[in-house]
Structure 1
Amino acid sequence: MGAPDRPVFVIGCPRSGTTMLQLMLHSHPRIAVPPETRFLIQAYHARRSHGDMRRPDNRRRLAQWVAGGRDTKFRELGLDRAEYVQHAVAAPGTLGSVLGTVFRDYAARFGKPRWGDKRPSYFKHVGMLLRLFPDAQFIHLVRDGRDCVASLMEMPWYRLDAYHAMANWAEAVDFGRHHAATLPGGSYYELRYEDLTADPEQSLRRLCGFIGEEFDPAMCEPRHVAQVAVPAHKVWHANTHSAVTTARSGSWAGRLEPWQISLCETVLGSRLEAHGYELSGAAPATRDHRLAYRTTAARRRAARLKRTGRERLSRLWEPGPIPALLTTGQRALSGLPPLPQHQLVESS
């Protein structure tokens, strides 16, 4: 049995510590996890316009969009644009292979054989990611919802209100329950932010067991790679440049307004307790606040169902094969032999 090469995706509600976990994984000598990118979801949903990836000219056009798009975040990976395009054209002719080559090139930049990716909102897109990378593993980081809401409300990029922040956390937890119940064994792992920060070594040892890697002590000191793997302009990730600490756990008590605490514990209480978080005993939320939350949650659910319907329709016609053919598991699922160990890309 060869060394594991399955992609690893870090998911969870925004502000749940996923960047810290990204850096912990990136500190491993075999795994590279880049800063957040913005091309996987967009490329997948636009797959009809990108055409059949069995055609080299289509692979080239897609790779050029990834490498040159204004919003793809490719420039933050430190990769040579022309070199990636060349590798993508030479990659197997599937959508996942062209997109996965970005991450494979990023891992090669650090001399590592295995890659991961982190974007909190991926918890809504696990099905899509499995279509692209059918051997993927998912690590879901859960944090006290009250801390997540408090942190979200302080972010300069967060434009929504507290009702949306609470609904976002509820969705992340609910999707997590669904994934835990439906994904194949060895594909989904859940851990709490509070446990990870209280005892990094023990938590990371267990996590390494899940992904099939040996624990490395460097993983407990993620600040040493923050300068490389966290873009300087993301000042809201400043804490990643410091030692792992429990100081922010439970800080919601001094950061949320009383009505927000009441509403969090009223509408999220059962989920909080299910994950081991103790409620403060705040007074029940007012009727108006409960109604505003339910309205927000219903609108978000309706929008999600609409997107799901569009996705089902789009699957009725797809221009070419979707799953990547870059790792041992991906190729085995397609009945193909593994790539040579030294080979980063393969001609179609």
Structure 2
Amino acid sequence: MSSTIQDKQFLFIIGAPRSGTTWLQIMLGEHPQVCTSVELTLFDRYIGQWMETWRHEVENAHRPGLNLFWTEQEFHGFLQDFIYKTYERALATKPEATHVLDKRPSYSEHVETIQTLLPNARFIHIIRDGRDVATSMMAAARDFWFQTDTMQKAATRWDEKVRQAQVASRFAGQYLEIRYEDLLEDGVATLKKVFDFCNLPITEAQVGDILEQQAFEKLQSSRKSASSEYKMPPGFYRKGKAGNWQEELSAAQQQQFDDIAGELLRELGYAGDNWVTQTSKEVANP
């Protein structure tokens, strides 16, 4: 394997689905030094399963498997070769790029595996108010392939994916956490912070141009994805605003969300202890 692909900076956008991960990916992909593509499913459907099988066999030495013939170093080398060859295919679409960006919410549960096999990887975790995420997830389940069709599923998934992604904070200097709401309110400063974290040179004016060109309303009409060969399904880009949950979630749904993921919601500063009661009163007495 040539050193070319190994010398690239690998970037991963992680977090819960419907948190703005696609929007962020598209904007970062506008930088001339960034190569990106559609979600490659590389770590959740392929590498992660192989790594988990390896760990299981090593921990159960009385029933050896592949580890009888391979060392861990050899096995990791084999997986790295597969990863590099995959990203080389993506890089062929933008060979001048110095950074390779991959985005997939399911990667959140595989950050340790990614860091083991790509030690220089950097993780960008975008967090959105879980109530808006749950609202969007359930709407997406009605419109296309999402399976989070109940509040229980949506709230659980948001809680799990955010906590899993935060594991990457253990890797000093390789983890950045931003808020979706900050992208909406102060997009230039927030996006510039991401580019700086990735060591991608860019001016504030250029960041502003990217935000204007990739405005949410434009993505809604164009159904743009990170690949020029693929369009997102109709309805993928929904409303894109903050606080939409207040208009769409019933008091019962709010309470169910709080029962499942309220602790994390409060940890992140999105709500106080009695937000369900207060919101319900506001709806009843507008």
Whether TM exceeds 0.5 here: the answer is yes
> 1:67 matched to which residue of 2?
none
User: Matches of 2:29 and 2:268 in 1, distance apart?
Assistant: 27
Deviation track 1:202-261 (CA, whole Å, cap 9, x = no partner) reads 00111122111113424423368936627225224346xxxxxx8521101112222111
Question: Deviation of residue 110 (structure 1)?
Answer: 2.2
* 1:1-348 matches, cutoff 5 A: 5-44=8-47, 45-46=49-50, 94-111=78-95, 112-155=97-140, 156-160=144-148, 161-180=150-169, 182-183=170-171, 185-215=172-202, 216-217=206-207, 218-220=209-211, 221-222=213-214, 226=224, 229=227, 231-238=230-237, 248-279=241-272, 281-283=275-277
- Residues 173 and 247 from structure 1, CA distance in 2 versus in 1: closer, same or farther, beyond 3 angstroms? closer
Q: Secondary structure at the match of 1:235?
A: coil
Highest RCO, 1 vs 2 (Cα 8 Å, sep ≥ 6): 1
User: Matches of 2:91 and 2:118 in 1, distance apart?
Assistant: 16
What letter corresponds to residue 96 of structure 1 in structure 2?
Q
User: Matches of 1:18 and 1:207 in 2, distance apart?
Assistant: 13
Deviation track 1:7-57 (CA, whole Å, cap 9, x = no partner) reads 0000010111100011011011101121112233333224789x89xxxxx
User: Matches of 2:253 and 2:43 in 1, distance apart?
Assistant: 34
C-alpha contact (below 8 Å) 1:150/1:252 kept by paired residues? yes
What letter corresponds to residue 211 of structure 1 in structure 2?
C
- Residues 197 and 272 from structure 1, CA distance in 2 versus in 1: closer, same or farther, beyond 3 angstroms? same
- Residues 247 and 130 from structure 1, CA distance in 2 versus in 1: closer, same or farther, beyond 3 angstroms? closer
Name which of structure 1's ranges 14-23 and 131-140 shifts more when overlaid on structure 2. 131-140
Q: Secondary structure at the match of 1:268?
A: helix
Structure 1, unmatched stretches of 5+, are: 53-92, 240-245, 285-348
User: Matches of 1:31 and 1:95 in 2, distance apart?
Assistant: 23
User: Matches of 1:168 and 1:135 in 2, distance apart?
Assistant: 28
What letter corresponds to residue 213 of structure 1 in structure 2?
L
What letter corresponds to residue 104 of structure 1 in structure 2?
E
What letter corresponds to residue 102 of structure 1 in structure 2?
T
User: Matches of 1:166 and 1:228 in 2, distance apart?
Assistant: 27
Q: Secondary structure at the match of 1:7?
A: strand
> 1:297 matched to which residue of 2?
none
Question: Deviation of residue 269 (structure 1)?
Answer: 2.9
RMSD of the alignment, in Å? 3.0
Structure 2, unmatched stretches of 5+, are: 1-6, 55-65, 68-76, 279-286
Aligned length: 234
After TM superposition, the score normalised by the length of structure 1 is 0.60
Q: Secondary structure at the match of 2:9?
A: coil
Name which of structure 1's ranges 116-125 and 101-110 shifts more when overlaid on structure 2. 101-110
Q: Secondary structure at the match of 1:8?
A: strand
Name which of structure 1's ranges 274-283 and 23-32 shifts more when overlaid on structure 2. 274-283
Q: Secondary structure at the match of 2:236?
A: helix
After TM superposition, the score normalised by the length of structure 2 is 0.72
C-alpha contact (below 8 Å) 2:29/2:36 kept by paired residues? yes
Q: Secondary structure at the match of 2:201?
A: coil
C-alpha contact (below 8 Å) 2:156/2:260 kept by paired residues? no
